[in-house]
Amino acid sequence: MGALAAVASLDTVNARDEPRPAARSEFSSDDPRRIREHLRSVYGSGVQIECQGSPHARRFTHIRHKSSGLMIDQISHSGDGAVSTDHLADTLVLWVHAGKVAYSSADDHVLAARGDVFLLGPGRRTVCLQAIDARFTAVHVIHPARHGEQTTAPPCLRPRSESAADSLKRTIAYASDVLNTGDDVVAEVMSEALPELVRAAVYAGFPHPCSGDGAPNQPSQPVALRQAMAYIEANAARRITIADLAAEIYATPRTVQYLFRRHLGTTPTAYLRRVRLSKARQELLTGDRTVTTVTATATRWGFAHTGRFAVLYRETYGESPHQTLSR
């Protein structure tokens, strides 16, 4: 039995971005060396790949569909293969269709079979994912910073309910179908709606943060703080001051600073920097390497010093901006 994986990379699209038609690329090989080189070129040099079993029984195929804000990778690999990394920068949602998928980290271990779906939170170290003649779908989610989420993984890995899991599966399948039509007009029209649709299904499907009974907690941030966060999200490319935020929520600058410190454990300036860094990553992930540059992206999102931007980027995501752009 072969293994087929669809990896959807999802990010927030800036409202000023022009939708791009879906692009398709394909790679296929039974050579372990070429497979390793390809995976590292796509997912970063820090990824370790191990292929087991007879080379004659092993075949790896990777098809990527990419549009503004959404990437879907279809990967098939017969036999036994494992991928490991020392840093998981973003959230992964995996849905197993056949075979077995084993996930392990320093504090978690999951063995999933047909029909299972689970979430891997960001910030984890020494992560290993092993597929044994498996067919599965994986959704790679970059969280919008406006939700104020931490970069540590939530303790819960399972969906909050069967109905939520079913809804998530249907949404992922629909998004895959849209990008697989080969119709650029359809893909372009849906390019802004699809990422939001998939992201909403992910947030609805998993408790985040997790409560003791597995039910999602209610939002605890004050309305004024959420308004300030939304303002930063919508205007991240502009110059934003504490005074701007204070005027937006009809409060004093001291109150703005207190809200961010009390409820998010950070400052408005640090939060803005995090949002901009996330926006830059989103642009690099979905950018065209023949057009997009790291310097231009950094400058567009308020990072005047490219070297400092690169250091902060690597500290946050475990890879350089150039590695992200070359995926």
Q: Tell me the pLDDT tens digit for each residue of 57-82.
A: 577 888 777 766 677 777 777 777 77
Amino acid at 108: D
Contact, 233 vs 144, CB < 8 A? yes
Using pLDDT thresholds of 50, 70 and 90, give the confidence band for residue 177: confident
Helix (H, G, I), strand (E, B) or coil at 15: coil
The confidence band for 276, taking pLDDT boundaries of 50, 70 and 90, is: very high
CA distance 162 to 179: 26
pLDDT of residue 53: 56
Report yes or no: 142 and 278 within 8 Å, Cβ to Cβ.
Answer: yes
State the angle between helix axes of 268-286 and 242-249 in degrees (0 to 180), rounded to the nearest 10: 100
Lowest mean pLDDT segment, chosen from 104-113, 237-246, 274-283, 312-321? 104-113
CB 218 within 8 A of CB 234: no
Q: Per DSSP, what are the bridge partners of residue 62?
A: 27, 75
Per the prediction, the chain carries an average pLDDT of 76
Confidence tier at 152 by pLDDT (50, 70, 90): very low
**What mean pLDDT comes out for the span 240-248?**
93
**Range with the lowest mean pLDDT among 100-109, 144-153, 173-182, 231-240?**
144-153
Say how far apart CA 289 and CA 57 lie, in whole Å: 35
pLDDT at 245: 94
Give the model's pLDDT for residue 211: 38
3-class secondary structure, 28: strand
Amino acid letter for position 248: E
Q: Is the dihedral of CA 272, 273, 275, 279 positive or negative?
A: positive
- Residues 6 or more apart whose CB falls under 8 angstroms from that of 11 comprise 69, 70, 142, 195, 281, 282, 285, 286
Q: What is the mean pLDDT of residues 80-97?
A: 77
Report which residue type is found at 325: L
| 53-57, 276-280, 323-327: which is most confident | 276-280
* pLDDT bracket for residue 93 (50, 70, 90): confident
d(CA 1, CA 11): 32
Reported as a pLDDT band with limits 50, 70 and 90, residue 123 is low
pLDDT of residue 8: 44
Q: Which of 23-37, 40-54, 106-120, 305-319 has the highest mean pLDDT?
A: 305-319
Q: Looking at residue 285, what DSSP letter applies?
A: H
Phi, psi of 276 (to 5 degrees): -65, -40
Residue 13 CA, chain-centre distance (Å), reads: 13
Per the DSSP assignment, residues forming a β-bridge with 61 are 28, 76
Going from the N-terminus, what domains does the chain have, and what CATH number goes with each? 4-205 (2.60.120), 223-325 (1.10.10.60)
Whether 150 has a pLDDT exceeding 60, the answer reads: no
Per-residue pLDDT, averaged over 1-27, amounts to 50
Stretch 143-166: mean pLDDT: 60
Percent of the chain clearing pLDDT 70 (strictly above): 75
60 within 8 A of 26, measured Cβ to Cβ: no
- Which pLDDT band, with edges at 50, 70 and 90, does 299 fall under? very high
Q: Which is more confidently placed, 194 or 274?
A: 274
With a cut of 90, say whether residue 268 has pLDDT above it. Answer: yes
Q: Are 202 and 164 in contact (CB under 8 A)?
A: no
